[in-house]
């Protein structure tokens, strides 16, 4: 990179990602000579951009997408979204079981999302229909119009389905944990190998400090995110933000821990054995 002090940092508009990097964007921590250029995009765009010529140095990605980036990126040991017995949810306009959806159309947020990969492991036989994750109401519109028979909801959208009048079919994090005994790894932060060991270690330290600062000042950051929220369909509801951050911005965000790391390896292994991921993946973490 032409300016080694400038780090291109990409992450989603979702509140857990914003939470992690708030201390950097607001100048609350010492970035140790590094300058961060922030870019926000939805999950599918982040996954796609990480493959391009102008890929960011650090990017939030789906853990599923890591399978296609492992030769160029390491996973950071922090910044992960991990569901401890919970995660994305499949909903429909009436009560049904997951097996009722065999061969049916299910709206998914993207074919490289971890949610899609896990659902495919749980229900190999369904027709995926990509429904953009933003605005959240798009998935509900697809259900109401009959475009899809069910929808796989991620991010804050998975907390809003009841108020929209839909029924839960399956909580895929719950199903994954029942099957594996492990938490569900959904998203992570990846860092370019091309930065070199010293630069990677420095950037990792700064990003870890940003997460730690946010966790130590949780109420302040939560209130700031609530006031700044402007995404279509996301209510400025403190209880909803508090619940969502409790799920995906917590101690597991500061470090995956042994179970979280094993869960990533297990997801990669199962994805490959099912023929969804085309090659075996060696999961490697930055310091």
Output the pLDDT for position 231. 86
How does strand 89-92 pair with strand 167-171?
antiparallel
Burial class from Cβ neighbours inside 10 Å (0-12, 13-18, 19+) for residue 140 reads: buried
Is the pLDDT at 1 greater than 60? The verdict is no
Q: Which residues contact 223 (CB under 8 A, 6 or more apart)?
A: 238
Signed CA dihedral, 119, 124, 125, 131: sign only: positive
**How does residue 233 score in pLDDT terms, banded at 50, 70 and 90?**
confident
Lowest-confidence segment of 40-49, 68-77, 129-138 by average pLDDT: 129-138
Residues recognised as catalytic:
155
Is the pLDDT at 3 greater than 80? The verdict is no
How does strand 89-92 pair with strand 150-153?
antiparallel
Cis peptide before 50 (omega within 30 of 0): no
Once rounded to an integer, what is the mean pLDDT over residues 221-240? 91
Q: Which residues contact 101 (CB under 8 A, 6 or more apart)?
A: 90, 92, 123, 126, 149, 150, 169
Share the mean pLDDT of the chain: 95
Percent of the chain with pLDDT over 90: 90
Is the pLDDT at 108 greater than 80? The verdict is yes
| Residue spans of alpha helices (H) in the chain | 15-25, 43-49, 63-66, 114-122, 137-145, 172-180, 197-216, 218-228, 238-248, 251-254, 257-273
Range ranked top by mean pLDDT from 1-10, 43-52, 157-166: 43-52
How does strand 35-40 pair with strand 6-11?
parallel
- Report all structural domains of the chain as residue ranges with CATH numbers, in order of start: 6-82+183-273 (3.40.190.10), 89-180 (3.40.190.10)
**Cα gap 80→44, rounded to integer Å:** 17
Q: In 3D, which of 230, 214, 193 has the Cα closest to residue 78?
A: 214
**How does residue 228 score in pLDDT terms, banded at 50, 70 and 90?**
very high
Is the pLDDT at 163 greater than 90? The verdict is no
Q: Could you read off the pLDDT of 41-57 as tens digits, one per residue?
A: 999 899 999 999 899 99
């Amino acid at each position: 990179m032409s300016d080694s002090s400038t780090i291109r940092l990409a992450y989603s508009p979702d509140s857990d990602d914003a939470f992690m990097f708030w201390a950097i964007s607001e100048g609350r921590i010492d970035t140790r000579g590094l300058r961060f250029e922030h870019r926000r995009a939805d999950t599918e765009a982040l996954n796609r951009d990480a493959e391009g010529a102008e890929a960011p140095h650090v990017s939030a990605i789906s853990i599923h997408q890591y399978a296609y980036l492992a030769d160029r990126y390491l996973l950071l040991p922090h910044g992960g979204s991990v569901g401890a017995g919970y995660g994305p949810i499949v909903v429909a306009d009436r009560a049904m079981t997951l097996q009722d959806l065999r061969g049916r159309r299910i709206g998914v947020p993207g074919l490289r999302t971890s949610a899609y990969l896990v659902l495919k492991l749980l229900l190999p036989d369904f027709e995926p229909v990509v429904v953009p994750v933003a605005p959240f109401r798009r998935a509900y519109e697809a259900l109401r119009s009959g475009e899809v028979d069910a929808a796989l909801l991620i991010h804050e959208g998975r907390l809003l389905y009841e108020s929209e009048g839909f029924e839960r079919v399956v909580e895929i994090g719950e199903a994954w944990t029942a099957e594996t005994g492990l938490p569900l790894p959904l998203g992570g932060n990846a860092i370019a190998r091309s930065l070199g060991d010293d630069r990677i270690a420095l950037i990792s330290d700064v990003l870890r400090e940003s997460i730690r600062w946010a966790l130590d000042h949780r109420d302040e950051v939560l209130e700031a995110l609530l006031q700044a929220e402007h995404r279509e369909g996301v209510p400025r509801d403190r209880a909803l933000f508090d619940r969502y951050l409790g799920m995906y911005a917590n101690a597991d965000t500061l470090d995956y821990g042994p179970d979280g790391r094993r869960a990533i390896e297990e997801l990669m292994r199962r994805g490959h054995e099912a023929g969804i991921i085309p090659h075996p993946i060696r999961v490697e973490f930055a310091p």
